[in-house]
Amino acid sequence: MSQRILIVDDDTRLAQMLATYLEQRGFRIDVCASLGLGRAALAQNRYDALILDVMLPDGEGFDLVRELRPADPIAIVMLTARGEELDRIVGLELGADDYLPKPFNPRELLARINAVLRRQSPQRAATQEVRQFGRLQIDIAARVVRVDGAAVRLTSHQFNLLVALAERQGRVLSREQIMAAIREDPLQAFDRSIDVHISRIRAAIELDPKNPTCILTVRGAGYVFTGQTSPP
């Protein structure tokens, strides 16, 4: 399967040019023009790499890098019209894998993307196989969830739901986004069945399901997986 890349850049002409160039070389590309749209795309889809502009209409790309790291090993290449050395240092210190000032040659960007994808492949594969959050372990390959080393019982649907939340740790997901992430009919998100499943997952993994620390409800917005499996 071809690798999938998200481009977050408000320069629509440049973004579309890059999208066409990379699609011709076998990648699947999505384009967003703001941080908000980028966050929504990341919540709903799984990407191998992120091409991220620093200056965006609703904030700085640095903010998104902070949100993604260290939980998400997605390869990140940052772009900027500003060539200051400090910007490059900040981006790399926050966890970006590479940094390219505008203007640039698309062939150079392609070479950098391929390089960071090669470096990230072993880390991403290992991370996808087994995810550890304190007392909680999610073995994706085996489809087993363990708490303190002991397997807990979840339905296949509940396992998929937990993985979707865990892979987007720290991001608030609406019911619609959760259902989209596990590739089920978004219309089902309007009933309360997802709340029942969350309740049962909490009963299986939380120390105190009535006062959860790992999966929190954000009133009026949805749910967020914190990865906090014990009281602070």
Domain boundaries along the sequence of the chain: 4-128, 134-225
Sequence-distant (6+) residues with CB within 8 A of 147 are: 135, 136, 137, 204, 205, 229
d(CA 84, CA 90): 10
* pLDDT of res. 201: 95
Contact 119, 98 (CB under 8 A): no
Assign 167 to helix, strand or coil.
coil
**This prediction's pTM:** 0.56
**Could you tell me which CATH number the domain at 4-128 has?**
3.40.50.2300
CA proximity to 64, closest of 22, 32, 102: 32
* pLDDT of res. 31: 97
* pLDDT of res. 45: 83
* pLDDT of res. 68: 86
Q: Do domains 4-128 and 134-225 have the same CATH topology?
A: no
> For each successive 10 residues of the chain (232 residues), what is the average pLDDT?
88 94 93 94 88 93 86 84 71 85 90 85 58 89 89 88 89 84 51 82 94 94 90 66
d(CA 43, CA 94): 20
* pLDDT of res. 78: 92
Q: Match 């502009």 to its residue by tokens.
A: 53
Which fold does the domain 134-225 belong to in CATH?
A: Arc Repressor Mutant, subunit A (1.10.10)
d(CA 180, CA 28): 18
